[in-house]
Amino acid sequence: MSDQAKIIYNDQTFEAPVVKGSEGELGLDISKLRGSTGLVTYDVAYKNTGATQSSITFIDGEKGILRHRGYSIEDLANNASFLEVAFLLLKGHLPNKKEYENYADLIRMHTLVNEDVKHVFQAFPNGSHPMGQLMTMMSMMSAFYPDSLNPHRIEEDFDMTITRLIAKTPTLVAMIQKKKMGHPLVYPKNNLEYVDNFLNMTFGQITQEYAVDPVLSSAMNKLLILHADHEQNCSASTVRIVGSSQSNLYASISAGIAALWGPSHGGANQRVLEMLEEIAKDGGNVQKFIDRAKDKNDPFRLMGFGHRVYKNFDPRARIIKKSADEVLGQLKVNDPILHLAKELEEKALADPYFAERKLFPNVDFYSGIIYRAMGFPVDMFTVLFALGRMPGWIAQWNEMRKAGQPIGRPRQIYTGEVHRPYPSWDERG
Ligand code: CMC
């Protein structure tokens, strides 16, 4: 197989090296194309652009494969703890027992947030969206750790910022939920494991002992793992590009949270539930909503369906669907919304419109149903996605930083006015 490709333009031939990934993925290295031919590549929304080489996550969208550092998402979701997966993403290998215990202890030592953070929370109006709060709290962290602002600091300082982020994000997320409920904060209890500690801070009360339900704990652990990383998606690319200007990690993650908030990305999990509730309120006519999604004059889309990369079943959705059945069964929840979701999935999958476009349910289709059964308010769903995605964002940022990648800066094809003289007031009519 050739390791060069030729691009012929007028009388010029550009020989582009072919870059090969460890799973056989091929890419054209066009970094010198403009210098040789004057051409840039044109690829709106980067649908066919590899922005980096990366050794963190592998996806084969045609086959429905997702692996982190070589381990399948199925193996990780069924066997690992979220903290183990975070370690894997951040350090590149699964921890041995000693490494894991040390890591869990290190994270435990940093779960508290500064007491002054409470004052920032007080400023949010009641009812403000949890994603807006999380984004603000994340940027605010840079104010509490000014040492993190220096892009040339020593490696140990970077490690400490990463540790703080993994340790304190569950505390911040729980604070957002408590603010929403109008309940007093529950502080971290460091004898608990990572996920149980989060559930205790979220659902526990200061007035009484709270025993973490193992069913909830296992479901939460799985959901966090399923969201932990997804290679160069919109929010990860945002984190990388913001970080490429040597902006600090808190600011980069805050930008990632902003990107995740949108309904085309992580915000879809909230929209799926709202859509299912709307269908139920409208009398449960699933076909009507499928027809609307197919109508090109109607902006409505089936939320939780379709994916930029997966042109096969999203492997995360398969795992979540099974988990939703288990959790609802164990919690003895008979949710009519789940029945509607199943009917919608069956009808859409049988419809040629969705089959031809390879539109399958994605990770967000079922996650909301589990979150709802667990007792989370619907506008907290995307915040939970962000909590799970934290190690992935950090791993992507750190890979970019350690490779010394230059500032990210795409080109454009300008289509505006060509040069014209500056008119006087009279000439403007
Ligand atoms: N409902 C109806 N039609 C759809 C849908 C949908 N959910 N998704 C895509 N299509 C159609 C689209 O209209 C287009 O049709 P045509 O070829 O006739 O013009 C075709 O499928 C290709 O769609 P696209 O918009 O070019 O695909 P994309 O890769 O730009 O968008 C997407 C991917 C996820 C933004 C899109 O499928 C979508 O809006 N889905 C609903 C929102 C959603 O569930 N987002 C969560 C994504 S997974 C979680 C994450 O990792 O963020």
Domains in the chain, ordered, with CATH? 4-65 (2.20.28), 73-410 (1.10.580.10)
* Nearest CA residue ID for atom 52, ligand 1: 265
Res 338: pLDDT: 85
Task: Look at residue 170 in the predicted model and tell me its pLDDT.
Answer: 98
Q: Is pLDDT of 294 > 90?
A: yes
Q: Is ligand 1 within 6 A of the CB of residue 293?
A: yes
List CB contacts of 40: < 8 A, sequence separation 6 or more.
Answer: 33, 34, 411, 413
Å from CA of 68 to ligand 1 middle: 24
Pocket flag, ligand 1, residue 264 (CB < 6 Å): yes
Q: Which helix (H) or strand (E) holds 72?
A: strand 71-72
CA of 304 to the centre of ligand 1 (A): 9
Give the tens place of pLDDT for each residue, 33-87: 999 999 999 999 999 999 999 999 999 999 999 999 999 999 999 999 999 999 9
Count of other CB atoms within 10 angstroms of residue 315: 22
H or E element that contains 7 = strand 4-9
- Evaluate if residue 331 carries a pLDDT over 90: no
Give the model's confidence band at 204: pLDDT under 50 very low, under 70 low, under 90 confident, else very high: very high
pLDDT, the chain, mean:
95
- Residue tagged active-site, from 227, 307, 314, 379: 307
**Residue of 196, 229, 364, 379 marked active site:** 364
Q: Tell me if 374 sits within 8 A of 323, measured CB to CB.
A: no
Q: Residue-wise over 187-217: b if at least 16 C-beta within 10 A, else e? A: bbeeebbbbbbbbbbbbbeeeeebebbeebb
Please tell me the distance between residue 360's alpha carbon and the centre of ligand 1 in angstroms: 10
Indicate which residue's Cα is closest to atom 16 of ligand 1.
Answer: 357
Q: Is 265 in the active site?
A: no
Sign of the alpha-carbon torsion through 320, 326, 329, 331: negative
Ligand 1, atom 46: closest residue by C-alpha: 265
Identify the weakest region by mean pLDDT among 115-124, 168-177, 333-342, 420-429: 333-342
Mean pLDDT, rounded, for 377-383:
97
Residue carrying structure tokens 């600091």: 153
Does position 303 have pLDDT exceeding 90, yes or no? yes
Mean pLDDT, residues 81-107 taken together: 98
- The per-residue DSSP string of 259-306 comes to HHHSTTTTTHHHHHHHHHHHHHHTTS-HHHHHHHHH-TTS----TTB-
Question: 292 CB under 6 A from ligand 1?
Answer: no
Q: If you take atom 29 of ligand 1, which residue's CA is the nearest one?
A: 308
Ligand 1 pocket test, candidate residues 274, 307, 310, 365, most atoms within 8 A of CB:
307
Q: Which residues, at least 6 apart from 227, have a Cβ–Cβ distance to it below 8 Å? A: 316, 363, 367, 384, 385, 387, 388, 389, 392
Quickly state the pLDDT bin for 389 (edges 50, 70, 90).
Answer: very high
Residue 308 Cα, ligand 1 centroid: separation in angstroms?
7
Distances (CA, A) of 133 to 104, 381, 382: 27, 13, 12
Residue 322 CA to ligand 1 center (angstroms) comes to: 24
Percent with pLDDT over 70 in the chain? 100
Q: Is the CB of 304 under 6 A from ligand 1?
A: yes
- The average pLDDT across 365-373 equals 91
Q: Are 257 and 134 in contact (CB under 8 A)?
A: yes
Share of the chain above pLDDT 90, in %: 89
85 Cα: distance to centroid of ligand 1 (angstroms): 29
- Banded model confidence at residue 7, pLDDT cuts 50, 70, 90: very high
Is 364 a residue of the active site?
yes
Q: Which two tokens stand for residue 246?
A: 């040597």
Whether pLDDT at 1 is above 80: no
